[in-house]
Amino acid sequence: MSGPDDASTVDRRTFLAGAAGLLVAGVAGCGDNATQAPVDNDADVSDTADADAPDADIDTLGDAAMDAAMDATDSTEQADTVAALDSAPADAGSDAMDADTAEAPDTAVSDAAEADTATPADRFEPGDWALIEAAFPYAVQSGDPRPDGAVFITRFTGTAALTLSVFVADGPGLGGPLVLAVNAPTNAHGMARVRIASLELTPWTVYHYCFTSSAGRSVIGRFRTAPAPADSPVVTFGGASCARYLFRPFDVLSRASESSLDFFVFAGDTTYADGSETLAAYRDRWGENLGEAGFRELFRSTSTVATWDDHEVENDWDPTTISATKREAATEAFFEHMAVDRNPAEPNQIYRTVSYGQTLDVFVLDCRSERIRTQSQYLSPDQLAWLKSELSASQATFKVIVNSVPITAWPPLYLGKADRWESHDAQRNELLGHIEQSVPGVIWIAGDFHFGAHVHVDPPNGAFHAQRELLMGPIAHVNPALGIIQLTGDPAQFLWTSAERNYVRFTADPNPSPPTFTAEWIGTTGQVLHTATLTI
């Protein structure tokens, strides 16, 4: 496989991959100093794909496959695609990271670059950002990073063949060599998902990526591979939940995009699709949010680690009564629009572990699809056993549990207990007791409640008071019931609360003695609302 030493170089504006065979007639360059995003792919690379092809999976990419993946489409297909893009609605380019694109493009550094300047790709380089947004309305997204790769997704409204290109990040702009270029087949909705696992990628390294077609390219995304299993770097990540379109803008996501985070946790209610019944309706609800500036900017800036709560399906949905058709449509839409690394054996399983060396293990829970209220089951026996086993086996300094609904015990006057862990005492006590007895360094993070908070999971006289939970968000929502907690909650349990929109910036540092885990709640203008530092 071609590696950094033998690939073409890239300047800020023009992705010159002639030596690798990418810069052929009509293929757009990846240029611009914007960064951030993901895509997923779980099948062998193929140049022919059904409209609803499965995810593509790149584990090792030989030279022949590389050449095939970088074949350009013919000029007729290019012309058809440009015509299709011209018919898309224009939108003034709103991405904050595109602000520097008014600059004149850099001087071409090769004959190949000069020869390409007359192609329709020119309309993407660098001025017509409205056209880029029409062609790639959700920007780009990467998710569930590993030391050797990640999952990458986008939505493409054109008809030409799509390629995912990954290249070395050289400073704040683009300038590093091409590392990988692989096919990115799309389904009938234009969603592309590519899963890359490649020895060409180095652990704990920042890369840039984009999607290209004969008609042009997407915006540039940034992602960072996870550290090697034995390494212990400082890891900085963000998190939030609850983004209702009615309460946009999603400006806290724009603020998060400015922090060079290693990844960002979406703890659920990433869209509000209540009332949807068909796959088309769910796609529309996802599209409303993902097409907004805050999401586009956040996705471009870093990778995501996502779970769902209820509103991705229906408010307080019950898996024992919901129609199979509705659940199937909602599940498919979730996996289409979030870059989750799917389990080949159980492709609809959401719970999983995302590891960051010896510093951090992230345990992502599914606290919705396995609930059986009549049996006091919050998690399935399999998920509960998996979580306890993974926690016990983890050698990471910090074990972060992503919990869509808080596990904290709330004051009696705070309604909605039936929808929380508190109404499933046996499992709650079993899990918290397991942690209390044998698992150090556990930190709960959660969303759902539409306010930020730093709390103990039990009041001072409770068995599990020592365990902490950090509530994230809302991205865009309100909760007038917060006053009940502020009036009736024990200050020794509820250490801080705020109704302001926020995301939380976490810094996991295993190096001090004792190691520190810092949480900063960040508001809509980038102000720090509160800081909490936990030690173990």
Per-residue pLDDT tens digits for 490-534: 999 999 999 999 999 999 999 999 999 999 999 999 999 999 999
CATH code of the domain covering residue 243: 3.60.21.70
Q: If you average pLDDT over residues 396-414, what whole number do you get? A: 96
Q: If you average pLDDT over residues 59-75, what whole number do you get? A: 31
Tokens of 25: 């007639």
pLDDT, residue 172, reads: 58
pLDDT, residue 367, reads: 96
- Considering the domain architecture, whether residues 489 and 369 belong to the same structural domain is answered as yes
- Considering the domain architecture, whether residues 131 and 209 belong to the same structural domain is answered as yes
pLDDT at 92 over 90: no
- Considering the domain architecture, whether residues 248 and 113 belong to the same structural domain is answered as no
pLDDT, averaged across the chain: 80
pLDDT, residue 384, reads: 98
Instruction: Give the Cα separation of 19 and 7 in Å (integer).
Output: 6
pLDDT, residue 215, reads: 77
Is 5 within the bounds of a domain? no
**Is there a contact between 305 and 263 (Cβ–Cβ < 8 Å)?**
yes
Q: Are strands 263-266 and 303-306 parallel, antiparallel or unpaired?
A: parallel
Structure confidence by residue, pLDDT tens digits, 299-324 = 999 999 999 999 999 999 999 999 99
Is 229 within the bounds of a domain? no
- Side-chain half-sphere CA neighbours of 374 within 13 A: 4
Is 317 within the bounds of a domain? yes
Provide the CA 390 distance to its chain's centre, in angstroms: 22
Q: Which has the higher per-residue pLDDT, 144 or 133?
A: 144
**Is there a contact between 462 and 437 (Cβ–Cβ < 8 Å)?**
no
Is 249 within the bounds of a domain? yes
Single-letter code of the amino acid located at 247: F
Burial string for 166-186 (b: 16+ CB within 10 Å, else e) reads: bbbbbeebbbbbbbbbbbbbb
Q: Which has the higher per-residue pLDDT, 109 or 526?
A: 526
| DSSP characters over 135-198 | HSTT-EEEEEEETTEEEEEEE--S-S--EEEEEEE-SSSEEEEEEEEEE--B-TT-EEEEEEE-
Residues 6+ apart with CB under 8 A from 486: 494, 497
Count of C-beta atoms within a 10 Å radius of residue 326: 18
- Considering the domain architecture, whether residues 309 and 185 belong to the same structural domain is answered as no
Greatest mean pLDDT range, 159-168, 215-224, 386-395? 386-395
Structure confidence by residue, pLDDT tens digits, 143-190 = 999 999 999 999 999 999 999 999 998 765 556 788 999 999 999 999
Instruction: Give the Cα separation of 460 and 457 in Å (integer).
Output: 9
Count of C-beta atoms within a 10 Å radius of residue 246: 8
Examine the fold and report which residue of 202, 224, 246 is the final residue of a domain before the chain moves on.
224
- Considering the domain architecture, whether residues 202 and 307 belong to the same structural domain is answered as no
Residue (of 267, 356, 274, 277) closest to 304 by Cα position: 267
Is 275 within the bounds of a domain? yes
Q: Read off the pLDDT band of 214 (50, 70, 90).
A: confident
Q: If you average pLDDT over residues 87-105, what whole number do you get? A: 30
- Side-chain half-sphere CA neighbours of 302 within 13 A: 25
| DSSP characters over 105-152 | PPPP-SHHHHHHTTSGGGGGTTT-HHHHHHHSTT-EEEEEEETTEEEE
**Is there a contact between 14 and 78 (Cβ–Cβ < 8 Å)?**
no
**Taking CA 163 as the corner, what is the angle to CA 161 and CA 165, rounded to the nearest 5 degrees?**
165
Question: What's the alpha-carbon Rg for the chain, to the nearest Å?
Answer: 23
Q: SS in 3 state form for 486-536?
A: HHHCCCCCEEEEECCCCEEEEEEECCCCCCEEEEEEECCCCCEEEEEEEEC
pLDDT at 351 over 60: yes
Cis peptide before 120 (omega within 30 of 0): no
pLDDT at 196 over 90: yes
Q: Read off the pLDDT band of 70 (50, 70, 90).
A: very low
The sheet with strand 56-58 has its strands ordered as 56-58, 191-197, 149-155, 140-146, 303-306, 263-266, 235-240, 503-509, 516-522, 528-535
Is 192 within the bounds of a domain? yes
Domains contained in the chain, number: 2
CATH code of the domain covering residue 34: 2.60.40.380
- Considering the domain architecture, whether residues 281 and 332 belong to the same structural domain is answered as yes
Structure confidence by residue, pLDDT tens digits, 447-485 = 999 999 999 999 999 999 999 999 999 999 999 899 999
- Considering the domain architecture, whether residues 271 and 251 belong to the same structural domain is answered as yes
Distances (CA, A) of 4 to 20, 23, 311, 321: 11, 16, 43, 53
The fraction of the chain above a pLDDT of 70, given in percent, is 75
- Considering the domain architecture, whether residues 102 and 204 belong to the same structural domain is answered as yes
Provide the CA 411 distance to its chain's centre, in angstroms: 33
Cis peptide before 4 (omega within 30 of 0): no
**Is there a contact between 444 and 470 (Cβ–Cβ < 8 Å)?**
yes
Is 290 within the bounds of a domain? yes
Helix, strand or coil, per DSSP, at residue 399: strand
- Considering the domain architecture, whether residues 442 and 310 belong to the same structural domain is answered as yes
Q: Read off the pLDDT band of 216 (50, 70, 90).
A: confident
Structure confidence by residue, pLDDT tens digits, 31-42 = 443 333 333 334
- Considering the domain architecture, whether residues 157 and 88 belong to the same structural domain is answered as yes
- Considering the domain architecture, whether residues 240 and 213 belong to the same structural domain is answered as no
The residue with tokens 């095939």 is 68
Examine the fold and report which residue of 224, 245, 268 is the final residue of a domain before the chain moves on.
224
Q: If you average pLDDT over residues 109-132, what whole number do you get? A: 41
Examine the fold and report which residue of 166, 190, 224 is the final residue of a domain before the chain moves on.
224
> 400 pairs with which residues across the strands?
362, 443
- Considering the domain architecture, whether residues 163 and 138 belong to the same structural domain is answered as yes
Residue 524's domain comprises: 235-535
Structure confidence by residue, pLDDT tens digits, 238-261 = 999 999 999 999 999 999 999 999
**Is there a contact between 31 and 9 (Cβ–Cβ < 8 Å)?**
no
Is 13 within the bounds of a domain? no
